[in-house]
Structure 1
Amino acid sequence: MSNPKTELRYNLSEDGSKYIKATFLNQVWLRWTDNNSGTTINGKPQDNTLDIGLRRTRLQLFGQLTDHVFFYTQFGMNNFNRLAQMSGNRKLQAFFHDALAEYKVFKGDDRLKLGGGLTILSGLSRFSQPSVGTIMTTDVPVFAQATVDQTDEFGRKLSVYARGQVGKLDYRVALSDPFPVQTNGQVAPEIGKRATFAKVGLNKQYQGFFIYNLLEKEPHTTPYMAGTYLGDKKILNIEGGLIYQKDATWYTPNGTDTTYADMLLWSLAAFADMPLQNNTYALSAYAGYFNTHYGNDYIRNNGIMNPATGTTDPSNFNGAGNAYPMFGTGETIYTQVGLRLPENLLGEMGTLMPYASFRHSSYSALAAPVDVWNYGINWLLDKHKAKVSLNNEIRPEFEIKPDGEPVKSSTRASTYLQFQIYF
């Protein structure tokens, strides 16, 4: 009897070194949100919402065509809920996330790969280029995708790059061509005293990310980086990276003269993901420091798959629904930890993995820090292939005082249940 298929793969050579592979990912959310002050949905005030959405639906097709040539494509959509297309057209969400071609310089090893195209490959951190199907914390820490949908396409940029593994060093460097901010489908903010992405001029971005593997090497097939290996590998890494773009933002410090600011983002982190007690348990832990300089008092609110359409509260700094200050000039400490329980804990029904994460951001535009807590549990029916995750998030709410400064006024919560299929 032949062994059952465990992946959608067609081998182009007898030894399987040349192949074409397809994968499918679907993440369905059922969510309750404690909305920000004054939130409205289709013009009606609503204190809280219950919504259903597709956080991500993706198709990947990639493969090693020759000893040297690799390609990768990804097509899909994100954040599709009942309000996904307020323009009246519900069919505009799917697009190519990635389309890259890559040349492996040395046959049989990963010392140097040269590539280009539309790609997630990033210089900031592992969570700036995450394998979303393997994330431990139900959703990624989106603040690490620092220019998402401002000067990129959902984190992807047109880039040429080099990446590889030399000994214990994993590296990637890239030259990226960012998109103009006025092409992101939203009205770009007018220039003011706080920095925003400039609508005049457009310089290249320089990126570099480096990992030192103290134990096993991480896989290097695609540019994406795993969230957790669930004990299948023994990983201990020290990581660091940066993104630089000259004159990326602009502002008017005195209300009249235009000043340009360079964007410099960098991070240092440690990552551990390994089995414990002869693989009875598995630990996943990350701790990182992020220094994000976008320009004078840059601040950007964002709400993941926002369930709301507007606000009636002029003192509400966060915006509608679940938005809060997610990106800004300043410093961030982010940490997460989880423990995969024994694999046979629930018999044929898999096992559990509880986790928690904490983010503390000190932004120059805000008098109080942005503290965000997430905690939850994964029910691993078949590792990452089929899992159910329950997450609760606590986020801050800021209000604008009469002097125009935003101050922290309260906290809000969101609870969501995710069912993931990843094959």
Structure 2
Amino acid sequence: MKRLLLFLSTLITSQVMAQQSISPTDTLRSQPPVLTSSAPRPTAEKNELKVNLNESGSHFFKVTFLNQTWLRFNESNPGTTVISEPKTSTFDIGLRRTRMQLFGQLSDHVFLYMQFGLNNFNYLNGGFNPTASSNRKIHAFFHDAVGEYLVWKNKDYLKIGAGLTIVNGLSRFSAPGVSSIMSLDVPVFAQATVDQTDQFSRKLSLYARGQIGHLDYRIALSDPFPIQTSGAALPAYGPNAIYALKGHQKQFQGFFMWQFFDKESNQTPGYNTGTYLGTKKIFNLEAGFITQKNAMVSVPTAGDTTYQDMNLWSVATFLDMPLNKAKGTAVNAYLGYFHTNYGTNYLRFNGSMNPASGLLSGYPAGTQGNAFPMFGTGNVVYTQFGYLLRRDLFGPGNGTLMPYAHAQIANYQRITQTLGVYNIGINYLIKGHNAKLTLDYQNRPYYQASGNQLAPAGRRGQVTLQYQVFI
């Protein structure tokens, strides 16, 4: 840690010295005055913390920082409790994501990528256990730690890497670049095993990725974590599939994009940009999969333990391109179909940075706070659309707006009707993705038991204001 702090101090100091190495006072002292009518040229503003390791800059090391703060009002699902008290609504302040990335091209063939940070840090510090002591100071962890080898110098045909990584299959939203999200948040259901058999969507993996012509590909062999190490209470055996509590199988996954126009960045391992804000012309056809043998287990009848494979796949189209370059307008759109087979009747409720800590008896397990059936065996359609208004909408340097809408529509085996979760919102892009405010409204269903199934019993809303700062 001392070495890390020393490096960061040196990096920041070098940036400051680079910008201040010749001040106006120093220039006047060292040179005679020159009469000119020309105004001084403004100094180009740097937008990154980067150290070049060679003269050309092809070898470099870079640091980024991201902070996403949420202010949120949520209508609680029925039965919700907060620190053992029933609550019909909540207001909370939290850190959805606080991250730092350290990465660089260390030689013609060697790339290093690391990410450290925390997620979902509100007054419950990511989780609340009324029967045990909690420690809000131990929430940050390494998200990624990857070493990568570029097989052909200056060519992205093949990169081979290994470590803790988000290089995933299934979809672009299974490995989202969170600093460039078009809406308030990503569709978390696409991070299919999040915090069950992975570490916040990261797995210990060996992978190959690259770009060949219009094709962008990544394939991975992953060593998933056992569900016993998730930090949550273990699920009970029953007729509904759960993650297997016995055995250990490797996971295979892949993701492929056919890029019709501009190529997307292939620099960092796995991460996919949310929106380029009109700086690129992107139209992709995409497909991906995740498969694991005997990943799930159920007990349909007493003494009849059945293991099932997990098989997930998706197909999608993604568009992000300028409409009027002179005005700076652009559009972002996505439409994806997901087939999610986690085994018979698998269903998992989840709520992002859930503001509730418990649930009264008599209500379906896991339905407190802002939770809804986010993951399940069945079929999901996810779509989003955003429109970037003209640049400098409020005057030069004062930013612009980007309204959006998105929907998750699912038919899961254990719910009696089609699920629909809908969001509308607007971004105030103060300085692109580097500084932005996002106001979002979500409308979701809540559920009651109906035999072994769950039936919708009403709907609730949530309003969130996010302030993102990124460099």
TM-score by length of 1: 0.98
Counterpart-to-counterpart distance in 2, 1:3 and 1:229: 21
Structure 1 residue 404: Cα displacement: 4.2
Q: Aligned letter for 2:430?
A: L
* Deviation digits for residues 184-221 of structure 1 (CA, Å, limit 9, x no counterpart): 10111011100000010010000110000000100000
Counterpart-to-counterpart distance in 2, 1:4 and 1:354: 28
Q: Choose the corresponding residue for 1:46, options 83, 87, 95.
A: 87
- Identical pairs, percent: 53
* Deviation digits for residues 279-326 of structure 1 (CA, Å, limit 9, x no counterpart): 521000000000000100100011111111111151345521111110
2:333 — aligned with what? 285
Q: Choose the corresponding residue for 1:252, options 299, 308, 316.
A: 299
Counterpart-to-counterpart distance in 1, 2:253 and 2:155: 23
* Deviation digits for residues 252-285 of structure 1 (CA, Å, limit 9, x no counterpart): 1123211000000000000000000225210000
Q: Which has the higher helix share?
A: 2
1:407 — aligned with what? 455
* Deviation digits for residues 313-352 of structure 1 (CA, Å, limit 9, x no counterpart): 5134552111111000000000000000001111122000
1:234 — aligned with what? 281
Counterpart-to-counterpart distance in 2, 1:405 and 1:225: 36
What SS class does the counterpart of residue 425 from structure 2 fall into? strand
5+ residue gaps, structure 1, are none
What SS class does the counterpart of residue 127 from structure 1 fall into? helix
* Deviation digits for residues 334-385 of structure 1 (CA, Å, limit 9, x no counterpart): 0000000001111122000000001110001111121100110000000000
What SS class does the counterpart of residue 393 from structure 1 fall into? strand
Cα distance, 1:261–1:279 mapped onto 2, change above 3 Å: farther
2:314 — aligned with what? 267
Counterpart-to-counterpart distance in 2, 1:265 and 1:9: 39
What SS class does the counterpart of residue 179 from structure 2 fall into? helix
Structure 1 residue 405: Cα displacement: 2.9
Cα distance, 1:196–1:279 mapped onto 2, change above 3 Å: farther
1:138 — aligned with what? 184
2:150 — aligned with what? 104
Calculate the aligned-residue CA RMSD, in Å.
1.1
Counterpart-to-counterpart distance in 1, 2:302 and 2:405: 43
- 8 Å Cα contact 2:116/2:143 also seen in 1: yes
1:19 — aligned with what? 60
Structure 1 stretch displaced more, 276-285 or 291-300: 276-285
- 8 Å Cα contact 1:193/1:255 also seen in 2: no
5 Å-filtered alignment, 1:74-153, equals 74-84=115-125, 85-86=127-128, 87-153=133-199
Q: Aligned letter for 2:228?
A: Q
* Deviation digits for residues 70-106 of structure 1 (CA, Å, limit 9, x no counterpart): 0100000000000115333111110000000000000
Rg larger in 1 or in 2? 2
- 8 Å Cα contact 1:285/1:337 also seen in 2: yes
Q: Aligned letter for 1:11?
A: N
1:377 — aligned with what? 426
5 Å-filtered alignment, 1:208-357, equals 208-222=254-268, 223-280=270-327, 281-316=329-364, 319-347=367-395, 348-357=397-406
Q: Choose the corresponding residue for 1:395, options 421, 424, 444.
A: 444
Structure 1 stretch displaced more, 307-316 or 57-66: 307-316
What SS class does the counterpart of residue 47 from structure 2 fall into? coil
Counterpart-to-counterpart distance in 1, 2:458 and 2:398: 40
- 8 Å Cα contact 2:367/2:446 also seen in 1: no
5+ residue gaps, structure 2, are 1-40
Question: Are 2:204 and 1:158 equivalent residues in the alignment?
Answer: yes
Q: Aligned letter for 1:300?
A: R
- 8 Å Cα contact 2:221/2:251 also seen in 1: yes
Counterpart-to-counterpart distance in 2, 1:92 and 1:315: 31
Number of residues of Structure 1 aligned to a counterpart in Structure 2: 422
Counterpart-to-counterpart distance in 1, 2:81 and 2:292: 37
What SS class does the counterpart of residue 116 from structure 1 fall into? strand
Counterpart-to-counterpart distance in 1, 2:421 and 2:326: 31
Counterpart-to-counterpart distance in 2, 1:123 and 1:332: 16
Counterpart-to-counterpart distance in 2, 1:8 and 1:367: 52
- 8 Å Cα contact 1:71/1:100 also seen in 2: yes
Q: Aligned letter for 2:159?
A: K
What SS class does the counterpart of residue 143 from structure 1 fall into? helix
What SS class does the counterpart of residue 173 from structure 2 fall into? helix
Counterpart-to-counterpart distance in 2, 1:34 and 1:318: 16
- 8 Å Cα contact 2:79/2:359 also seen in 1: yes
- 8 Å Cα contact 2:338/2:380 also seen in 1: yes
Cα distance, 1:90–1:317 mapped onto 2, change above 3 Å: closer
